[in-house]
Amino acid sequence: MRSSQYDILFEPVRIGPVTAKNRFFQVPHCNGMGHRAPSGMAAMRGIKAEGGWAVVCTEVCEIHPSADVSPHSHARLWDDADIPALARAAEAIHRYGALAGVELGHHGFRAQNRTTREVPMGPSSQTVVSYDPVQSRVMDKQDIRDLRRWHRAAALRAKRAGFDVIYVYAAHGLVTPMQFLSRRYNQRTDEYGGSLENRVRLLRELIEETKDAVGDTCAVPVRICVDELIGPSGLCADGEGRDVIEMLADLPDLWDVTVGDWSNDSRPSRFGDEGVHEEYVRFVKQVTGKPVVGNGRFTSPDTMVSQIRRGVLDFIGAARPSIADPFLPRKVELGQMEDIRECIGCNICAAADNTYTPIRCTQNPTMGEEWRRGWHPEKVPPQESEDSILVVGAGPAGLECAVTLGKRGYQVMLAEATEELGGRAVREPRLPGLAVWGRVREYRVEQLHRLANVEVFLASPMTAQDVLDTGANRVVVATGSRWRRDGVARYHRSPMTVLDDRSVFTPDDIMDGTAVSGPVIVYDDDHYYMGGVIAEKLRLQGLEVTLVTPAPLVSAWTVNTLEQTRIQRRLLQIGVRIRANEALVAFQDGEARLACTFTGTVQPQPAKAVIMVTARLQNDTLYDDLMARSDEWEAVGLKAVTRIGDAEAPGTIAAAIFSGHRHARECERTTGQEGVPFLREIPALGSWPS
C-alpha cells in the first residue's frame, strides 16, 4: 500500500454542486478521434476513469458550425444530433465513478471553417492562424448575443449527455473569450473592448449564463491563460492575468489555469522541467476561494504532494501524464510507484492531433487502441501456447516485446549484442536535452527484472546458427537500424556520388564518441529532432557548426510536436549557422557544395566534416540469413521468424514501441490474415435531398 505522505492526493474535493473523489484531474486534451471516432474517444476516456482519475474531461467541444477547426477532429455539440456521441463518453467515464467533464469552446477568428464554409468572426478582424487566405469579420452585438445563446444551448446539451463538469474555455488564444480578453486581438471601442473590465465582459456573461443554465447540478469551471508569456502586451501573472482572476474570483466553481499557447502549456521536456508553470500560477489560490487545477507534466507523486501542501494547486491536472499512464492515480494509491510509465514529454501525442490522426504515445502503445484493437494498458491476454520465444535485440521494440510476452506468460529469451539494454533508448538520452527520454528504457528494464520467465543475455551477438541452436519456437528480430552516410533521404533518392567518405559521419558516430573537427556541416534531411540535437552537441563542444536543410525550417516536423520554434531559437542563440532551403550535393577536398532547392544554384561552403542526418538502414542481416535457411526450421522446432521496430522499417521510438507491443499481443496470429486489423467507425448514410 501507499505511504501516508500521499494520502492528501486522495482526499475528496468539492467543485460547486459535485464532488471529485480525489485530486487527480485529467484536464481537457486533444486526441485526434473526437466526432469522427466517438467510440474510440469514449473508450480512451473510460480507461482513464478506470485508472483512478477523479475527473476526466473531453477535448475542446465545438459549440457551433462557425467554430469548425476541421480537419482536426474535436468533440462537437452543434445540435442535438451530437448528444449520443458525447453521452457515450460520459457513460464510459461514469462507469468507474469519475466525474465527466466537457470543454465547450468557440474558436473565433482561429476557426478556418474549412468544412462548414462559415465566415470566421472575432472581436476584431484578424487573419486566421493558418496560411489559409481567410480573414475574420468583426462580431457585432447580435453576433455576441448569438454566441452566448449557442454556448448556453451547448451547455444544456452537455447536461443532457450526462456531463458533471461543463467548462467555459478561455485559454491558449484558441477561443473567442480569450480573444476578447487579449489587447492584441481586441481593438473594439464599445462595451466589449478597451478597458480590462470591458474585455472581461463576455467571459463574465458566459460564466453567469452557463451557471444559470446548468449550475444547479453541474460544476462550471473556467479554463484560462493567466500569463501569455509575452510581457505586458498580453495577460501576465503580475498584471492583467492576475487582475482577471481577482475580478471573477469566486464566480466559477473552479479555475483551470494555463500558461501561454499550447506549445507553452504542453512544453516539451527538452525545454521545461516538471512543474515548470508554478511561478506563473501560484498566485491564483491567493485571490480565490474556489479550487484550482493546473498542469505541468506532473509525473512524480512527491511533486504532486508538494504542490498541494504549499497551496499552489488543489487538483493535480494532467494531460500528457494521463496519456502515458492512464493508471497513474491507481498506482500511486496502491504504492506501485515503480510501475508508473512516466511521460517523457516528447509530444508525440500532440503530433497526432496536429497530423489529424488518432492519439498515440511513446510510453503507452495502447493509447488510442482501447476500442479499435481492444487493448488495455494494464491487461494482456494469456499465452496461447507453450512456445518459447527468442527476442534478438533489446532496443525499444525488443524491450517492449519481451516485457509484454513475459506478462502474457511465455518463456522468453532476450539476447542483446551489447553490454547494456536499451539500444537507441539508452544512446539518444545522452544527447543534449533528451535525458528524460531515458525513462523509456528505465520503465521496461524495471518490468523485466520482475519477470522470472524472461531470461536476459547481454553481450550476446547472434548469428543465424546461434539462433537455430537455441531451440526457440519463435524468433523476433529487433536488431534496430543505423544511419546512412551516403545522403539518401528525401532530397537524394539515390546515393551521392561526390563524397569524401573519410570525413562523412553519422549520428551513430557522434553518439559513439567519434571526434570531428570544425568547421562542420550537419546535413539534416530527416527533419525530426536528431539534426538539431547533433548540431547543438557539436556547437557546445566549441565547433563551428552550420546546419543545412532542404526544408524551410530547422527540424521541420517538430512543428507537430510543438518545439520547432524553440529548437531553431536555441541553435541561433548558441551560434549555429542555419542554411535552409539548401541541399548538400557534393563534399570533397574540404569544401561542401550546397544547392538551392528552388533554383539549383550551387554555392561552396568550407567544411572539414559532414554529419549526415538523413535516412536509416535496417540491420536486417540476421533476419535475411534466417529466412535463407527456412528449410532448416522444422528440424529445430522453429515455427516463425518476425522482424519488428526499426529492423523492419526505421521510425520513431513510439513506432518501435508500438511494433514490439503489437507483435507480443498478436504473435500467434496467422501471417497475412485477411481483413482490417481493427474496428472502424463507419459514418451512417444520410438520405438524398429532396
Catalytic residue list: 30, 169, 172, 265
Q: Which residues contact 369 (CB under 8 A, 6 or more apart)?
A: 375, 678
E-strand stretches of 478-590:
481-483, 504-505, 520-524, 545-549, 577-580, 582-588
Three-state secondary structure call for residue 455: strand
Rounded to whole angstroms, the Cα distance separating 515 from 524 reads 19
Helix (H) or strand (E) holding 447: helix 439-449
Q: Which residues contact 215 (CB under 8 A, 6 or more apart)?
A: 16, 17, 253
Rounded to whole angstroms, the Cα distance separating 480 from 392 reads 10
Between strands 121-122 and 577-580, the pairing is unpaired
Residue 328: what residue type? Answer: L
3-state secondary structure 603-666: EEEECCEEEEECCEEECCHHHHHHHHCHHHHHHHCCCEEEECHHHCCCCCHHHHHHHHHHHHHH
Our CA angle for 433, 434, 439, nearest 5°, is 140
E-strand stretches of 212-347:
221-227, 254-259, 292-294, 315-318
Between strands 602-606 and 454-457, the pairing is unpaired
Rounded to whole angstroms, the Cα distance separating 542 from 547 reads 15
Would the CA dihedral through 154, 156, 157, 159 be positive or negative? positive
Cβ(112)–Cβ(132) below 8 Å? yes
Rounded to whole angstroms, the Cα distance separating 128 from 112 reads 6
Rounded to whole angstroms, the Cα distance separating 510 from 540 reads 13
Q: Which of 125, 153, 126 is nearest to 63 (CA)?
A: 153
Residues in the chain: 690
**Residues paired with 224 in a beta bridge:** 170, 257
Q: Can you tell me which residue has the cell 462537437?
A: 76
Cβ(437)–Cβ(561) below 8 Å? no
Conformational region of residue 674, where left means phi above 0, alpha means psi within -120 to 50, and beta covers everything else: beta
Task: For residue 377, say if its preceding peptide bond is cis, omega within 30 degrees of 0.
Answer: no
List b or e across 420-434, with b for residues whose CB sees 16 or more CB atoms inside 10 angstroms.
ebbbbbbbbbebbbb
3-state helix, strand, coil in the chain (%, to 5): 35, 20, 45
Q: Which of 582, 577, 572, 528 is nearest to 551 (CA)?
A: 582
**10-to-54, 119, 536 alpha-carbon distances in Å:** 9, 47, 43
Rounded to whole angstroms, the Cα distance separating 621 from 158 reads 57
Cβ(67)–Cβ(119) below 8 Å? no
Residue 86: what residue type? Answer: L
Helix (H) or strand (E) holding 245: helix 240-247
